[in-house]
């Protein structure tokens, strides 16, 4: 039986209940401890908790494994970066699917991922460095190209269609991604001596992540993630249709612009630090929607936590499945994400039938 209209309106005003927040937070914390504990060298959870306590409170503990502090100096910032990247990418995919009313949409739909990848590949191929910053040249170039990409796409969309319609933006994003892919192939051809580094980077990897990079991801997520979370009601309206959003007084053009810029900032930062990591923004929102429903007041916060858990597990698989060798995390997310998406799509079709 379908819910009464008044009941649906009442539900749409409700966010995640407190117990659901606690459940998602507990899942993130447990997954974090698991991912820090397990690796080429596995550590007891007590050592992980002692290390985190020492890190936060400045205390000193005895460790069961003598090399635990050295191992976790590398592993903890990596897992933090993985969790923050998963949160950012999943949030971007969820907001894009609501904004564009397209279940196949994700952050890379805008072409920002391709632009960021081009910037990093140029830095790698031509040894571009930024001596006055602690960040690598690839990171800085990827950020610059990500922002440049979205500004170019929005400028062209504005010139072609003043209303910045969804179809225009998506079409330009697809064309732009294809154009950037051809440029990347040309650069890769002429930089054959660095093709290994370029290939590994384009498949995504958060190996060697630092606390500085974790801080950058956190700051960008807090700023632009908060912006997206404040647009939950608008995304609910967009998910029904632009006409519905316009009829209740939403500024379509302004809202779309704010969300697109926020998504671009998040994706550009993630790609600049971890490379191209696919399927997170596509699969995680669908999985979370099956748990908490389509209401963005509940879906967006839940997707944040689910994205962290999903990418931490994918990174753990990438680290341990062929240890001591490590797989690119982008290859793992694409393989597992594609399989999961097929099951999700098939299940959705059966329910709709």
Q: Where are the domains of the chain?
A: 87-352
The pLDDT tens digits for 267-290 are 888 988 898 898 899 999 999 999
222 vs 153, higher pLDDT: 222
Percent residues over pLDDT 70 in the chain = 92
Residue 49 CB partners (closer than 8 Å, separation 6+): 33
Residues 217-233, mean pLDDT to the nearest whole number: 95
User: Looking at residue 55, what is its pLDDT?
Assistant: 86
Q: Give pLDDT tens digits for 177-205.
A: 999 989 988 888 888 777 777 877 778 88
Residue 246 to residue 238: CA distance in whole angstroms: 9
Residue 133, pLDDT score: 58
The pLDDT value given to residue 136: 67
Average pLDDT for the chain: 86
CATH for the stretch 87-352: 1.10.3470.10
Q: Is the pLDDT of residue 72 over 50?
A: yes
pLDDT-derived band at 353 (thresholds 50, 70, 90) equals: low
CA nearest to 301, candidates 353, 225, 352, 245: 225
Q: Is the pLDDT confidence value at 3 over 50?
A: no
The answer to whether residue 240 scores a pLDDT higher than 90 is no
pLDDT range class, residue 132, cuts 50, 70, 90: low
Percent of the chain with pLDDT over 90: 39
The predicted pLDDT at position 255 comes to 92
Residue 134's pLDDT is what?
Answer: 52
Name the pLDDT band for 85 (thresholds 50, 70, 90).
Answer: very high
Check pLDDT > 80 for residue 22: yes
If one counts every other C-beta atom within 10 angstroms of the C-beta of residue 228, the result is: 26
Q: Quick one: tokens of 142?
A: 């990827």
Residue-wise DSSP of 78-134: HHHHHHHHHHHHHHHHHHHHHHHT-TT--GGGGTHHHHHHHHHHHHHHTT---TTSS
Statement: residue 9 has pLDDT above 60: no
Q: What is the pLDDT of residues 294-304, one digit of tens each?
A: 999 999 999 99
Backbone dihedral region for residue 41 (phi beyond 0: left; psi -120 to 50: alpha; all else: beta): beta
Instruction: Quote the CA–CA distance of 297 and 87 in Å, as a whole number.
Output: 16
- For residue 138, give both structure tokens: 């690839």
Contact 134, 207 (CB under 8 A): no
pTM: 0.88
Higher pLDDT, 161 or 152: 152
């Amino acid at each position: 039986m379908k819910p009464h209209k008044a009941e649906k309106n009442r539900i749409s005003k409700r966010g995640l209940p407190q117990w659901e927040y606690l459940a998602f937070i507990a899942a993130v914390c447990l997954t974090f401890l698991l991912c820090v504990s397990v690796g080429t060298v596995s550590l007891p959870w007590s050592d992980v908790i002692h290390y985190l306590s020492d890190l936060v409170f400045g205390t000193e503990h005895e460790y069961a494994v003598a090399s635990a502090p050295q191992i976790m100096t590398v592993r903890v910032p990596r897992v933090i970066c993985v969790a923050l990247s998963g949160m950012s990418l999943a949030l971007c995919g969820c907001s894009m699917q609501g904004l564009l009313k397209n279940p196949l949409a994700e952050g890379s739909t805008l072409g920002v991922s391709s632009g960021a990848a081009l910037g990093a590949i140029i830095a790698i191929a031509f040894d571009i460095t930024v001596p006055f910053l602690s960040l690598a040249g690839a990171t800085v170039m990827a950020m610059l190209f990500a922002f440049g990409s979205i500004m170019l796409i929005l400028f062209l969309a504005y010139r072609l269609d003043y209303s910045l319609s969804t179809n225009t933006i998506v079409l330009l994003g697809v064309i732009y991604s294809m154009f950037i892919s051809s440029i990347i192939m040309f650069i890769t051809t002429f930089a054959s001596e660095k093709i290994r580094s370029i290939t590994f980077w384009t498949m995504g990897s958060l190996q060697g992540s630092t606390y500085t990079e974790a801080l950058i991801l956190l700051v960008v997520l807090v700023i632009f993630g908060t912006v997206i979370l404040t647009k939950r009601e608008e995304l609910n309206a967009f998910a029904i249709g632009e006409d519905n959003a316009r009829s209740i007084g939403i500024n379509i053009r302004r809202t779309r612009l704010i969300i697109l810029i926020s998504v671009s900032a998040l994706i550009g930062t993630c790609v600049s630090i971890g490379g191209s990591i696919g399927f997170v923004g596509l699969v995680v929102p669908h999985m979370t929607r099956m748990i908490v429903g389509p209401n963005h007041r509940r879906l967006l916060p839940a997707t944040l936590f689910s994205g962290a858990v999903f990418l931490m597990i994918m990174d753990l698989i990438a680290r341990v499945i062929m240890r001591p060798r490590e797989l690119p995390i982008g290859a793992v997310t694409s393989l597992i994400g594609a399989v999961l998406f097929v099951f999700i799509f098939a299940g959705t079709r059966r329910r709709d039938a």
